[in-house]
Structure 1
Amino acid sequence: MDFSLNQEQEMFRNYVRKYLDDVGQTKVAREFTEGNTSSFQALYAGLAELGCASVNVSEENGGMGLGQLDLVPILEETGRALLPGLYLETNALAVPLLEKYGTEEQKAKYLAAIASGEHTFTVAWLEPSGNYKPSNVKLNGTLQDDVLTLNGVKSLVPDVELANSLLVLVRTSEGQGAEGISLVIVDCDDVSLQVQPQKNMDETRLLAEVTFNDVQVSSQQILGTIDHGWDVLQEGLLSFNAALCSSIVGSMEKIVETAVEYANIREQFNQPIGRFQAIKHRLVDMKMDLETARSLAYYANWAIESNADDKVEAVSSARLFATEAFIKVASQSIQIHGGIGFTEEIDCHLYVKRARFYENYLGSTQQYYEQAAVALGW
């Protein structure tokens, strides 16, 4: 079975790459780490004009109505450029969830705005000293009449400053397990949130602690059925993780290209270091990891789009391999570059930091091993 992209998808990739080349690829990410977000905002607006934000939004809601595989070329190219912001969280998580579980009012309110590039989502899941398990969701939601009052703290929330809405996991019924958790959309402009910035190794992603003190939202903001938000989120995470793998593949591809180029121009003992067997072997290993991750990512996205029976194990396997291979390839690139690889002069450090950020993002490695094992019937 052929899982390669079709001609139209490859053409769209070329448009996105040309646009990102024109703005300097990782230049925007570097400026973002220095606090200059204006160039990123202009970049995101340009991507929206190209149609990147509307690809998987249904036609009746102002989008193109395309599938998961049509996101792949965009994600690979934004991964190459280490694009900051919330494109993944918005288009690969919020959009599929709104399309499947959103009410007609929620779809009308958010999807058209997402398609135009004017609305983005982030995810508020983790809590202080907690983990990604349902027992650690303790932010309390009290429903009275049609008003849901939220009290609690979420930590390590990505890019709150760039988000228009938050997908918040809320404990709406007593208990420790998945039952009793709801997924609530909180619009940042409609409520007063206390946001405290937190340090992050990957400076292209801004983390923050968000405090909810008697924050009131309408019960119409609950996504899916009340008390069953955990299952809704897990369904969305399949689409998200498949998309994340494609973004990682884009980053890995750029790393391999850069390492090969450097090995061909850096000379030692009057010859390029790429002629040394040790370097050749390392580059081959990096290329093998890249192509394996690409194949797994393509299959995972195809499985999501076609709703294949093995989509859970396909996504879990791709996520596990891609995140671990990303760390390994990024680290090997620094080794090939030698001393200069440890400086900020070139981009090696940016990719290592992004790789470590994704290692346990929206789920730990151990959880995905367990998910894959259960799906495979082990």
Structure 2
Amino acid sequence: MDFALSDNQKNIIATFREFGESVFTPESVFQWRKDQGLPDEVVKGFVDRYFALDDQSPDGMGIMSQTLILEELCRCAGAALPFQNDLFNLQIMGGFADETVSSRVLDDYRQTGRLMFSLGVSEPNAGSDTMSMTTSVETRDGRLVLNGKKTYVNNGEYSPSILCAAIDKDTPSEDEYPSLSFWLIPHDLPGIRAVPINKIGQSMVPFASVSFDEVELKPEYRLRGHEGGFRHLFKMLEFGRVFTCAASLGMAQAAMEDAVANARVRKAFGVSIGQFQQVEQMLTDMEVSLRTMRSMLYQAAWAIETDQPDKRLAVALMKRYIPKTATEVASSAMQILGGLGYTDSARVSTIWQDCRGNQIAEGTDQIMVYISAPLIMKEYE
């Protein structure tokens, strides 16, 4: 079996490594965390490089290429970045919109570097349990009305539009799944209110809770490219899980690099701490974790890209393992750095916070067991 990356994949990594190392300096990352976002020139630099490579590829940029990009950029930054959300939101848009709407959104993203919409799927009482969402659209007195609340809406305060998932009360369900619809809604409609969420990590990825109170919609706001409903949404969510794990792996790799650098130069009792057996064991276990995470990530991305029959299990196992293990690697890096690792002057502390959030994002560790266990039982029949 050939585990080597192709020349094209190596070129993709080199392109974004050069970009990432030039813009994500420690001073810049520290400032952008405080600013809670990236400046225009950085997001535009990402988009320009992304589409330049996308145009060169006969089949466009696949999930494996996107995975390599996100891993590399999060390694360079040592932080969670908004690009994983951009790429996931575009997957959802492409999965449910028709060609006209998708092209308009992509053209705008290409020109500005910022997505024209945020994505509202999760709700306060329907996070990983997506089918329990209560946000709904119905026709009343000849008016289409939207009511409900979404949480953890990336860029939900600032985006010009919101892509909102809602139960369609006008269409009876034909099976056990409620009737799901997606609506691309202007943010400035009466009845929409966004409130920022104050997280402990992932500072460059701002989130908001967005409420919809008797918001009147136009029929043309509805996406009509795919009517697959919840079944299709569940397939799309797998992209988000791969992207989240790519970011976690990249950050864990950054933590490892900082830990090794510190262990090489810091001395205690007259020798570098990298010579202490317990530190050697920690670094060895961290490297084992990194290699295992990378193998699971690439295998899951490959399974989706090649439509393997076990792709759902591969993704669930990956999401169960990688964010948790990345958090553990970051924690070990903090331990190796000692007191310095527990300060905001060492990026391993914020890497730990960012990785920890990914154990919740895109389906919790526990939900991945709920998905995996029945598939494992079936596989061993």
Q: 1:345 to 1:2 in 2, by over 3 A?
A: same
Read off the aligned partner of 1:6 and give its amino acid letter: S
* Alpha-carbon offset, residue 85 of structure 1: 5.1
Read off the aligned partner of 2:165 and give its amino acid letter: L
* Alpha-carbon offset, residue 151 of structure 1: 1.3
* Alpha-carbon offset, residue 224 of structure 1: 5.2
Question: Unpaired segments of 5 or more residues in structure 2?
Answer: none
The residue aligned with 2:42 is 43
CA distance in 1, matches of 2:363, 2:166: 17
Task: Tell me, yes or no, if the aligned pair for 2:80 and 2:247 is still in contact at 8 Å.
Answer: no
Tell me whether 1:109 sits opposite 2:109 in the alignment: no
Read off the aligned partner of 1:41 and give its amino acid letter: D
Read off the aligned partner of 1:105 and give its amino acid letter: T
Question: Unpaired segments of 5 or more residues in structure 1?
Answer: none
Tell me whether 1:127 sits opposite 2:160 in the alignment: no
Tell me whether 1:76 sits opposite 2:71 in the alignment: yes
Task: Tell me, yes or no, if the aligned pair for 1:55 and 1:70 is still in contact at 8 Å.
Answer: no
The residue aligned with 2:217 is 217
* Alpha-carbon offset, residue 22 of structure 1: 1.5
* Alpha-carbon offset, residue 158 of structure 1: 2.5
Task: Tell me, yes or no, if the aligned pair for 2:189 and 2:215 is still in contact at 8 Å.
Answer: no
Task: Tell me, yes or no, if the aligned pair for 1:154 and 1:209 is still in contact at 8 Å.
Answer: yes
Read off the aligned partner of 2:17 and give its amino acid letter: R
Q: Can you list the C-alpha shifts for 1:234-273, whole angstroms capped at 9, x where unaligned?
A: 1111122122222222111111111111101110010000
Matched length: 372
Read off the aligned partner of 2:187 and give its amino acid letter: C
The residue aligned with 1:206 is 206
CA distance in 1, matches of 2:291, 2:10: 17
RMSD between aligned residues: 2.9
Tell me whether 1:313 sits opposite 2:308 in the alignment: no
Task: Tell me, yes or no, if the aligned pair for 2:252 and 2:327 is still in contact at 8 Å.
Answer: no
Which one is further off, 286-295 or 176-185? 176-185
* Alpha-carbon offset, residue 183 of structure 1: 2.8
Task: Tell me, yes or no, if the aligned pair for 2:85 and 2:154 is still in contact at 8 Å.
Answer: no
Q: 1:122 to 1:288 in 2, by over 3 A?
A: farther
The residue aligned with 1:364 is 364
The residue aligned with 1:22 is 22
Which one is further off, 173-182 or 336-345? 173-182
CA distance in 1, matches of 2:72, 2:116: 19
Tell me whether 1:155 sits opposite 2:151 in the alignment: yes
The residue aligned with 1:97 is 92
CA distance in 1, matches of 2:207, 2:192: 15
CA distance in 1, matches of 2:332, 2:80: 24
Any idea what SS the aligned residue of 1:199 has?
coil
Any idea what SS the aligned residue of 2:240 has?
helix
* Alpha-carbon offset, residue 3 of structure 1: 4.1
So what's the TM-score if we normalise by structure 2?
0.87
The residue aligned with 1:87 is 83
Q: 1:240 to 1:198 in 2, by over 3 A?
A: closer
Task: Tell me, yes or no, if the aligned pair for 2:327 and 2:356 is still in contact at 8 Å.
Answer: yes
Task: Tell me, yes or no, if the aligned pair for 2:78 and 2:347 is still in contact at 8 Å.
Answer: no
Map 1:124-273 → 2, pairs under 5 A: 124-143=120-139, 148-173=144-169, 178-188=177-187, 193-202=192-201, 203-223=203-223, 229-273=229-273
Task: Tell me, yes or no, if the aligned pair for 1:123 and 1:166 is still in contact at 8 Å.
Answer: yes
Sequence identity (%): 23
Read off the aligned partner of 2:134 and give its amino acid letter: K
Which one is further off, 275-284 or 94-103? 94-103
Q: 1:128 to 1:67 in 2, by over 3 A?
A: closer
CA distance in 1, matches of 2:176, 2:284: 45
Any idea what SS the aligned residue of 1:245 has?
helix
Task: Tell me, yes or no, if the aligned pair for 2:167 and 2:179 is still in contact at 8 Å.
Answer: yes
* Alpha-carbon offset, residue 365 of structure 1: 1.5
Q: Can you list the C-alpha shifts for 1:29-73, whole angstroms capped at 9, x where unaligned?
A: 322222264x532211111121x25766999xxx97231111122
Task: Tell me, yes or no, if the aligned pair for 1:48 and 1:115 is still in contact at 8 Å.
Answer: yes
Q: Can you list the C-alpha shifts for 1:73-113, whole angstroms capped at 9, x where unaligned?
A: 2111221114555322221x233334343212222321222
* Larger RCO, structure (CA 8 Å, separation 6 or more): 2
Q: 1:245 to 1:84 in 2, by over 3 A?
A: closer
Q: 1:153 to 1:56 in 2, by over 3 A?
A: farther
* Alpha-carbon offset, residue 146 of structure 1: 9.6
